Amino acid sequence: MTNLLLYLSLFLIWMMLFYHAFLMIGGYFHSLKYKKFGKRLPEDPDLFPTVSILIPAHNEDVVIENTIKSMIRLNYPKDKLEVIVINDNSSDSTGEIVDRYAERYAFIKAVHTKPPFAGKGKSGALNQGLKRSTGEIIAVYDADNTPEPDAIRYLALGLKKDPKAGAIVGKFRVVNASQNLLTKLINIETLTFQWLAQAGRWFWFRMTTIPGTNFAIRKSILEELGGWDEKALSEDTELSIRVYNLGFYIRFFPSAITWEQEPENLRVWWRQRTRWARGNLYVIFKYLFSLHKLKNKKILIDIFYFLFTYLMFFGGVLLSHTLFVVNLFHDLELKIGIVSYVLLIVGFLLFVTEVCLALSMERKQLTLKNFIIVLFMYFTYSQMWIFLVVYSSFLEAKRVLLKQEVKWYKTKRFQQATK
């Protein structure tokens, strides 16, 4: 029985490793050709669509000023741009900072939400901003983001150029990547995710998941869908499924770049990633039992990817780890022997190869220092995700069984200079 369990766990692990290798090949090919799309974008300002940028902000006085300044620097006609900062029931000076800039710049608008329709999470704040928006295109940035000047131009014109795209997603970079070991690990994680999961899925399947920031979507689509799901902790993933179901695809266009702040200590990282994991579990079970109602069956690729990642892959890793630890203290008479060690070593080498390929697509990221961090990452940072997913699954199961209200955790920000 134990040998069967071990074989099962190895099968689950290797299925995901091969799938990720497949995605990374696609991501590499996309990195070679995506700039051609940018060269075909219209240059006549008269053809630029009107854009409303939504920035939800709850107690963001540490970072919001840098974000607003980056909006002022955007290379986009200001008469076709409005920046709506939603001060979501903040108790700090966020509101005062936003009002100060709104008085100076006509295209910047302040929306101040109050209870009972406030302070409940990002989705609610975005829906409040959506009601006050006037643009054909809606773009979203988190309050810690500083997009590069051409980011909105790429996103908005990308949608203008591609009528089959319901939304378009840019790339995000870590502004505090060099702060400490944790931010270095997160930087490597985010680059790998974008070139593997985002670019790879776009190349092979014409699918990309909307992130929490640096994306644009047609306002008509949001209105048809009724805005964001206010029960979803991962409102971006949930919105992606509904956009697919309308028959649109979501394009990944890395030329649109924003810089964002990442957690600088483990406590903040754990709470943020727990929210992400719980949010993705919510999405899995929201749609898993209603697959027959989905019009676009292509969505099954993403539903089963999330299902496999959070339940089967992490379950397989946890099972193999458990068998290994138990075997140290009690002989389980495992017969796989040397094969298991070979698979472990090859799996490790495949992981390192995939991550290094992702780093090679970014300027000055494939360095000796980062290579050493990748080796360290496999045995530490990656393993932390196993415990995080188990913990998140417990919390989400408890919420459902006890019918608890969804509580939003706002990621703590840190003082720093803009990029």
pLDDT digits (tens, 9 = 90+) for 161-217: 999 999 999 999 999 999 999 999 999 999 999 999 999 999 999 999 999 999 999
Kindly report the CA angle at 177 between 215 and 212, in degrees rounded to 5? 20
Number of domains, the chain: 1
pLDDT surpasses 60 at 417 = no
Among 249, 33, 49, smallest CA distance to 154 is for: 49
Which residues, other chains included, contact 60 with Cβ-Cβ below 8 Å and sequence gap of 6+?
67, 90, 92, 94, 143, 144, 413
Residue 75 confidence (pLDDT) above 70 = yes
Inter-residue contact 117 to 402 (CB < 8 Å): no
CA distance 234 to 228: 10
In a domain, 299, yes or no: yes
**Banded pLDDT at 343 (limits 50, 70, 90):** confident
Is 84 domain-assigned?
no
> Would residue 138 count as lying in a domain?
no
Q: Is the pLDDT at 418 greater than 70, yes or no?
A: no
pLDDT score of 344 = 76
Of the chain, the percentage scoring pLDDT greater than 70 comes to: 94
Q: Compute the distance between CA of residue 53 and CA of residue 73 in angstroms, rounded to an integer.
A: 14
Alpha carbon of 21 to those of 25, 30, 195, 305, 390: distances in Å? Answer: 6, 14, 11, 14, 25
98: in domain: no
pLDDT at position 16: 83
If 0-12 CB within 10 Å is exposed, 13-18 middle and 19+ buried, where does residue 258 land? buried
pLDDT > 90? residue 293: no
| Mean pLDDT computed over every residue of the chain | 90
Helix (H) or strand (E) holding 273: helix 266-288
pTM: 0.91
Of 63 and 308, more confident? 63
Domain span including residue 13: 1-40+162-404
Instruction: Give pLDDT, residue 114.
Output: 82
- In this predicted structure, which of 8-22, 168-182, 206-220, 267-281 has the lowest mean pLDDT? 8-22
pLDDT of residue 415: 79
Mean pLDDT along residues 19-38: 93
Find the mean pLDDT for residues 368-389. Answer: 93
Q: Tell me the C-alpha distance between 49 and 44, whole Å.
A: 11
Q: Range with the lowest mean pLDDT among 92-101, 120-129, 230-239, 318-327?
A: 318-327
Q: How confident is the model at residue 9 (pLDDT cuts 50, 70, 90)?
A: confident
CA atoms within 13 A on the CB side of 66: 23
Q: What is the pLDDT of residue 278?
A: 92
pLDDT score at 65: 96
Alpha carbons 215 and 217: distance in angstroms, whole number: 7
Evaluate whether residue 137 is within a structural domain. Answer: no
Residue 120 is assigned to a structural domain of this protein: no
Q: Please report the pLDDT score of residue 273 as a whole number.
A: 94
Lowest-pLDDT range of 65-74, 282-291, 353-362, 364-373: 282-291
pLDDT reported for residue 316: 75
The b-or-e profile of 209-218 (16+ CB within 10 A means b, else e) is bbbbbbbbbb
Taking the CA atoms of the chain, what radius of gyration do you get in angstroms?
22
Q: What is the mean pLDDT of residues 311-333?
A: 71
pLDDT-based confidence at 109, cuts 50/70/90? very high
Question: Could you tell me if 143 and 55 are in contact, meaning their C-beta atoms sit under 8 angstroms apart?
Answer: yes
**DSSP 8-state symbol, 45:** G
Classify residue 415: in a domain, yes or no. no
Q: What is the mean pLDDT of residues 91-103?
A: 96
Range scoring the smallest mean pLDDT among 58-62, 276-280, 348-352, 404-408: 404-408
Tokens matching residue 15: 């299925």
Residue 337's pLDDT is: 61
DSSP string, 190-231: HHHHIIIIIHHHHHHHS-----SSSEEEEHHHHHHHTS--TT
Structure-token pair, residue 342: 């070979």
The percent of residues in the chain predicted with pLDDT above 90, rounded, is 66
Top pLDDT among 13 and 284 is at 284
Minimum mean pLDDT among 64-73, 278-287, 321-330, 350-359: which range? Answer: 321-330
Top mean pLDDT of 280-289, 360-369, 402-411 is at 360-369
Asked whether residue 146 is assigned to any structural domain, the reply reads: no
Q: Cα-Cα-Cα-Cα dihedral of 348, 343, 318, 409, to 10°? A: 30
The backbone torsions φ and ψ at residue 41, rounded to the nearest 5 degrees and listed phi first, read -75, 145
- Tens digit of each residue's pLDDT (9 = 90 or more) over 118-161: 767 899 999 999 999 999 999 999 999 999 999 999 999 999 99
